């Protein structure tokens, strides 16, 4: 944001004065330890919320109430009922809020979706999403994460909707602890599978794991009536190694989301600024955030009940 | 079989005299229109059953009753109760019957499994199986096929067991008609997804479709604690094309199972003969056939009930 | 040949009675220790010559003199002047002789050439050929091989002509001993590079080495005005391995020409038989063999003189 | 440079006042229309020369004479004798000049070289370099370029030295006009091949073309005694397309050097600054620039004479 010629960074707010000060000095803007005051400043038109999850909702509503635009990290709130109420309030106020599902702005993701829209694969039949983190996060992170479906798979739920172009109406989930059985005490899972169906019958499979020795694995496949699209992973270089035991070996994947999605974070910001400048609709909304959160809740219900869960349309309107 | 130096082809039996005669002449053996008589011949030690499904069981039991070895196409029978009874009878008689799940003998499949056994990927966490036919079979074929799970996915159920090295204990299935909605009148499905779990928690996803414009798509992925193995498809040549709109483009896949699994059919036969010569256990048994059939039944139950179905251990013992 | 339904194997001739006998018994034909008598047999229409190089020419001329068709391993003779005289004699007699440059019949090679003929890459500008053997042959083999250009690169010279569709008119060669400096005592080289130009200006590079730890490396690239074609290598399976140090690693290549070109040997035989049945021209002629041999001679001249050598048209007519 | 926290951009000099002014305003520094005055400024420690080729030498010598460090675009001068004299003068003065061969700083190139240094492929036997531009430059550019070897292949000569780790001692070149025969009137070539040998016998092939419909093609292969390394190209996304006529098709390559080598330009600058800060040797010197220019001269001599040209050691010392 600081380097973007279309925006001016006015203030960095952080309850920790030292952190706020360091960033403010580096990026030549005001520091603040009072997030609410920062939101209220008259010279602030738009806010980026990257605070702990349990503060999202208050800051969101405050900013919207003051007529400020917002880009907010997912989720709206850890509690689905509170999230729904907030989203409805934001919509009632015609608040301009963008949900920061950065993967939608990755160059490959956009080209992938554009190819689908251009009819390259005809009618989609099946979408397959593989999403594996390189390493299990620390236990402390997991305790506050809300669980793998709300913290990690939520990105894949959003991406599935982005690719399918339709709402899932049915979901079946399966979860285990194959990386660390000790997660039972949190409790959380580390390895899961989901299958979903849309109203028109399109099928989607998601597999996730919190740990993969070869790096951050993000693959997507969309299979349709006249073709298929695959997205491969990114690697640091294009070297291929040949020796007496193997050929054409490539490097391990980029290690984690900050490297893998560096370009998408930048593009996400550009889209936010463009929507502000043009006064057009946000490319991802809090409603999108709410639906992804709701799919996570449905996944937990499927695991509890051992049933395919109907994603009630009423819950999304 | 005719060209195998370790075996002698004695008789080809087919109720259609002309078909039996043509093959017998080509391969220099006796023709017969009486399958039972052919089974009974004293100079016949082993039988290959490639007849219509509803005849498998009788021929199987007759051959086993006469002490003959058998290699039989799947399934044992379309009726699961009759299959179970027959398998128990065959086991009681210590019948030597090999179930013709040819994919297990594909060179890539065997190397794939050997790599797992050698610990290359550590503990398996997830297995992903993609299995798509190039074209929807004729309606007449579909009417007699028993349905996509019993006719097509059964191969993937068997292959999943082969890769997992454990029995699935829970299964969730989802099915649709995305290629041809008209299949409702049969009724059958053409596009399905399955997810399964083993007792130790390993997860497996299968996706199948009766039609894929780019050819016969057979991909397997085994993801484990220290690595991952992928099996790619086979293509007629290794050419890669570059032009102004694309780079590195490869050819469509080999069109169907007869081309794709040509080597595995030959290897399957070699394993059958080797087991006969050595007097060792059959590499795939009628019990394997029964379990794959039973998984298909469980998939149908999951679709009917919208539930995760427990694959009862009792049903497999 | 023995298994080909369009041909009948009549006699196997080998000065070593035991070898001839073993093959004759296995393939149910007559054994002979007298190659010339075998050629002369009235019931023999066509001969395959796979004998030591210094016998090729006599058997060739004898067979052609008797009006028999021949498929002959390269080269016609180790001596270029004798080769030229023999080729002229065979042409004068309208002898039907196919030179066994098997690579032209590889499925990928044929599809590669068909794509060029179909105009997929427009006008060819550059052809790049990589050709590496897995291991240095034994010294005894090398002593009788005639040298790397006549023994190994000759295949690439022929293949270059096949891909270019034009005759090379200029050649520059470079040769070294990077695998085994001890080859100087033979003398022979083990690592070479060649660049050639055709009359219309098309350029071709060949690199060869007698040893490659990763297997038998045979890659071709044709770069043209509207596209490029690449031929990749063959591997035993399609497995790709991922672990903490690498991703997408494939297996070492098929180890040597017998495995790599198994299909092309079979296809070569089919083309020979088809040409005999149809009475059409041989798909590869002794003239093709002579030109490839001549390019090898020019390569040696380039190395001796340090000059680009003109491949005199007169030398090829 | 303007955004680099380790450097301060003081002045932008350009004889065109408007251009200098625009850049100076954008990057908050002084504009100047007098390059010599800019070099002479007391507050200037280092200079980047990106001016027309015929001004390089004067600015270089002036800056070095004033004790300023320089990063200079290739070549030192279009005239090889003048280049040599200047390089000797710069070396006599212990001038700190970095030659801007940016490819050496590409992340893949550095990893490639590190793998060689780590012994991954043992002793190098052959290096293969493919280097193709997407489109023929305008005629006006070509008229002032000095010819394809001095303008384009010079990068590959430098990169060959970087990979080989040894000096080429012999070179054979071949050149044609396959993209545009009209280049004869300049005169220039558009399609060339080179093969070189080092003192220890390592071989190197380079192929170049001024036009490739599929984009900017930059591939490197290093083949050694215990392995091989390949560098693949970069593409805008990782999408792979499958349809009824092809599978696994990737996008055209990044279109030209500014996109392809974006990272290497940034890394090059970092290395220059690091060398200045640490007072260490420049990672690429004017001597490197001179040798690459000399190889281009030798290539022209090879074309003129049709001979393998000895790259005289004396000419490089």
Kindly report the nearest CA distance between residue A220 and chain D, in angstroms. 9
- Residue A54, pLDDT > 70, answer yes
- Residues in chain C with CB shorter than 8 Å from the CB of D226 are 213
Mode of pairing for the β-strands spanning B228-231 and B168-176: unpaired
- Residue A39, pLDDT > 80, answer yes
- Residues in chain C with CB shorter than 8 Å from the CB of A251 are 246-247
- Residues in chain D with CB shorter than 8 Å from the CB of A26 are none
Interface test with D, best of B134, B249, B260 (most D CBs within 10 A): B249
Whether A289 and A197 share a structural domain: yes
Higher per-residue confidence, A313 vs D264? D264
Cα–Cα distance for residue pair B47/C42, rounded to 1 Å: 44
Average pLDDT, chain C: 94
Which of these three, A83, A101, A119, is where a domain ends?
A101
Is D273 part of any domain? Answer: no
Is B5 part of any domain? Answer: no
Higher per-residue confidence, B278 vs C262? B278
**Distance set, CA A299 to CA A269, A302, B126, C243, D73 (Å):** 30, 5, 18, 30, 59
- The enclosing domain of D149 has a CATH number of 3.30.360.10
Percent of chain C whose predicted confidence (pLDDT) is above 90: 89
CB B160 within 8 A of CB B206: yes
Q: Residue A70 forms beta bridges with which residues?
A: A47, A97
Q: What pLDDT, on a 0 to 100 scale, did the predictor assign at position B117?
A: 97
- Contacting subunits of D (3+ beta carbon pairs below 8 A): A, B, C
Interface list for chain C against chain A, based on CB atoms closer than 8 Å: 213-215, 233, 235, 241-253
- Residue B314, pLDDT > 80, answer no
Whether B120 and B255 share a structural domain: yes
How many domains, chain D?
1
Using CB atoms, which residue from A246, A251, A253 is nearest to C250?
Answer: A246
Is C113 part of any domain? Answer: yes
Interface test with B, best of A129, A174, A177 (most B CBs within 10 A): A174
- Contacting subunits of A (3+ beta carbon pairs below 8 A): B, C, D
C228 and D212: CB-CB below 8 Å?
A: yes
Cα–Cα distance for residue pair D250/B241, rounded to 1 Å: 10
Provide the 3-class DSSP secondary structure of residue C65.
Answer: helix
Whether B48 and B174 share a structural domain: no
Kindly report the nearest CA distance between residue D215 and chain A, in angstroms. 16
Higher per-residue confidence, C312 vs B274? B274
Task: Find the DSSP H helices in D144-261.
Answer: 148, 154-164, 257-260
Q: Residue A192 forms beta bridges with which residues?
A: A175, A208
Q: What pLDDT, on a 0 to 100 scale, did the predictor assign at position D313?
A: 52
Interface test with C, best of B3, B239, B260, B262 (most C CBs within 10 A): B239
Tokens representing residue A202 in the block: 């399109």
Q: Which of B93, B24, B86, B27 is nearest to B55 (CA)?
A: B86
B103-120: per-residue pLDDT in tens? 999 999 999 999 999 999
Angle at A302 between CA A301 and CA A306, to 5 degrees: 120
Tokens representing residue B69 in the block: 């070895």
B223 and A205: CB-CB below 8 Å?
A: no
Would you tell me the crossing angle of helices B286-305 and B80-92 to the nearest 10 degrees?
160
D223 and C212: CB-CB below 8 Å?
A: yes
Give me the phi and psi of B309, to 5 degrees please: -100, 130
Whether B156 and B249 share a structural domain: yes
Whether A58 and A110 share a structural domain: no
Provide the 3-class DSSP secondary structure of residue C38.
Answer: helix
- Residues in chain D with CB shorter than 8 Å from the CB of C226 are 213
- Residue A180, pLDDT > 90, answer yes
Kindly report the nearest CA distance between residue C288 and chain D, in angstroms. 25
Is A1 part of any domain? Answer: no
Using CB atoms, which residue from B242, B245, B249 is nearest to D248?
Answer: B249
- Residues in chain A with CB shorter than 8 Å from the CB of D120 are 241, 243
Using CB atoms, which residue from D227, D234, D237 is nearest to A111?
Answer: D237
Which of these three, A66, A101, A136, is where a domain ends?
A101
Which of these three, B66, B101, B136, is where a domain ends?
B101
Is C65 part of any domain? Answer: yes
- Residues in chain D with CB shorter than 8 Å from the CB of B241 are 246, 249
Whether B107 and B23 share a structural domain: no
Average pLDDT, chain A: 94
Cis preceding linkage at D85, omega within 30: no
- Residues in chain A with CB shorter than 8 Å from the CB of C211 are none
Is A147 part of any domain? Answer: yes
Averages of pLDDT over runs of 10 residues in chain D (317 residues) are 87 95 92 96 96 92 96 92 96 96 92 97 98 95 94 96 96 98 96 97 98 96 98 93 96 83 88 94 95 96 97 57
Whether C80 and C186 share a structural domain: no
Q: What is the DSSP letter of C281?
A: -
Residue of B nearest to C226 (CA): B243
Give the pLDDT band of residue A130 (cuts 50, 70, 90). Answer: very high
Using CB atoms, which residue from D111, D228, D236 is nearest to A237?
Answer: D111
- The enclosing domain of C95 has a CATH number of 3.40.50.720
- Concatenating the DSSP letter of every residue in D219-234 gives EEEEEETTEEEEEPPP
Place of tokens 């040769």: C175
Residue of A nearest to D218 (CA): A238
D249 and B250: CB-CB below 8 Å?
A: yes
Residues of the domain holding B233: 103-259+284-316
Using CB atoms, which residue from D227, D232, D239 is nearest to A115?
Answer: D239
- Contacting subunits of C (3+ beta carbon pairs below 8 A): A, B, D
Residue of B nearest to A124 (CA): B178
- Residues in chain C with CB shorter than 8 Å from the CB of A245 are 252
Whether C81 and C156 share a structural domain: no
Is B278 part of any domain? Answer: no
- Residues in chain A with CB shorter than 8 Å from the CB of D112 are 237, 239
Give me the phi and psi of D199, to 5 degrees please: -60, -40
Using CB atoms, which residue from A179, A201, A225 is nearest to B176?
Answer: A201
B229 and C237: CB-CB below 8 Å?
A: no
- Residue A114, pLDDT > 60, answer yes
Kindly report the nearest CA distance between residue A187 and chain B, in angstroms. 16
Q: Number of A:D CB contacts under 8 A?
A: 85
Percent of chain C whose predicted confidence (pLDDT) is above 70: 98
Tokens representing residue C18 in the block: 């035991």
Q: Residue D128 forms beta bridges with which residues?
A: D205, D221
**Distance set, CA D154 to CA C310, D190, D207 (Å):** 28, 14, 12
Kindly report the nearest CA distance between residue B157 and chain C, in angstroms. 20
C247 and A250: CB-CB below 8 Å?
A: yes
- Residue C175, pLDDT > 90, answer yes
Using CB atoms, which residue from B247, B251, B253 is nearest to D253?
Answer: B247
Whether B68 and B191 share a structural domain: no
Place of tokens 């074309």: D303
Whether C77 and C126 share a structural domain: no
Kindly report the nearest CA distance between residue D132 and chain A, in angstroms. 18
Q: What pLDDT, on a 0 to 100 scale, did the predictor assign at position C264?
A: 87
Q: What pLDDT, on a 0 to 100 scale, did the predictor assign at position D82?
A: 95
Kindly report the nearest CA distance between residue B248 and chain D, in angstroms. 6
Give me the phi and psi of B276, to 5 degrees please: -65, -45
CB D231 within 8 A of CB A239: yes
Cα–Cα distance for residue pair C132/A55, rounded to 1 Å: 64
C254-287: per-residue pLDDT in tens? 887 777 788 888 899 999 999 999 999 999 999 9
Other Cβ atoms less than 10 A from the Cβ of C27: the count is 12
C176 and D191: CB-CB below 8 Å?
A: no
A190-207: per-residue pLDDT in tens? 999 999 999 999 999 999
Provide the 3-class DSSP secondary structure of residue B88.
Answer: helix
Q: What pLDDT, on a 0 to 100 scale, did the predictor assign at position C135?
A: 95
Whether B148 and B297 share a structural domain: yes
Residue of C nearest to A232 (CA): C248
Cα–Cα distance for residue pair C117/D171, rounded to 1 Å: 34
Q: What pLDDT, on a 0 to 100 scale, did the predictor assign at position A62?
A: 97
Tokens representing residue A158 in the block: 């959003």
Q: What pLDDT, on a 0 to 100 scale, did the predictor assign at position B316?
A: 44
Cα–Cα distance for residue pair D235/C229, rounded to 1 Å: 18
Q: What pLDDT, on a 0 to 100 scale, did the predictor assign at position C313?
A: 52
B252 and D241: CB-CB below 8 Å?
A: no
- Residues in chain B with CB shorter than 8 Å from the CB of C246 are none
Q: What pLDDT, on a 0 to 100 scale, did the predictor assign at position D314?
A: 46
Using CB atoms, which residue from A112, A240, A242 is nearest to D239?
Answer: A112
- Residues in chain A with CB shorter than 8 Å from the CB of C246 are 214, 241, 246, 249-252
Whether A138 and A286 share a structural domain: yes
Is D8 part of any domain? Answer: no
Residue of B nearest to C232 (CA): B238
- Residue B199, pLDDT > 80, answer yes
Q: What pLDDT, on a 0 to 100 scale, did the predictor assign at position A313?
A: 53
Which of A209-213, B56-60, C138-142, C261-265 bottoms out in mean pLDDT, i.e. has the lowest? C261-265
- Residues in chain B with CB shorter than 8 Å from the CB of C241 are 115, 120, 227-229
Give the pLDDT band of residue A2 (cuts 50, 70, 90). Answer: confident
- Residues in chain B with CB shorter than 8 Å from the CB of C222 are none
- Residues in chain A with CB shorter than 8 Å from the CB of D108 are 237-239
């Amino acid at each position: 944001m600081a380097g973007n010629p279309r925006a001016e960074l006015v203030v960095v707010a952080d309850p920790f004065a030292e952190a706020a000060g360091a960033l403010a000095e580096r990026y030549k803007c005001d520091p603040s330890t009072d997030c609410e005051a920062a939101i209220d400043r008259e010279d602030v038109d738009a806010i980026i919320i990257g605070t702990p999850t349990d503060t999202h909702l208050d800051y969101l509503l405050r900013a919207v109430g003051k007529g400020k635009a917002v880009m907010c990290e997912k989720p709206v709130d850890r509690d689905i009922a509170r999230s729904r109420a907030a989203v409805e309030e934001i919509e009632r106020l015609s608040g301009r809020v963008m949900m920061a599902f950065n993967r939608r702005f990755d160059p490959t993701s956009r080209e992938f979706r554009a190819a689908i829209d251009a009819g390259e694969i005809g009618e989609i039949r099946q979408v397959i999403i593989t999403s594996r983190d390189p390493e299990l996060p620390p236990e402390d992170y997991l305790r506050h994460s809300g669980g793998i479906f709300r913290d990690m798979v939520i990105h894949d739920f959003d991406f599935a909707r982005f690719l399918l172009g339709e709402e899932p109406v049915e979901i079946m989930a399966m979860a285990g602890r194959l990386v660390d059985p000790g997660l039972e005490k949190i409790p959380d899972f580390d390895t899961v599978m989901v299958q979903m169906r849309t109203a028109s019958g399109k099928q989607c499979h998601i597999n996730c794991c919190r740990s993969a020795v070869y790096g951050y694995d993000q693959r997507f496949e969309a299979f349709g009536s006249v073709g298929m699209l695959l997205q491969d992973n990114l690697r640091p270089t294009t070297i291929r190694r040949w020796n007496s035991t193997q050929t054409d070996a490539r490097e391990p994947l980029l290690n984690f989301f900050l490297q893998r999605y560096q370009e998408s974070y930048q593009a996400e910001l550009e889209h936010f600024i463009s929507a502000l400048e043009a006064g057009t609709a946000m490319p991802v909304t809090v409603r999108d955030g709410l639906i992804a959160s709701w799919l996570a809740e449905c996944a937990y219900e499927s695991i509890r009940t051992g049933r395919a869960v109907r994603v009630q349309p009423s819950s999304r309107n």
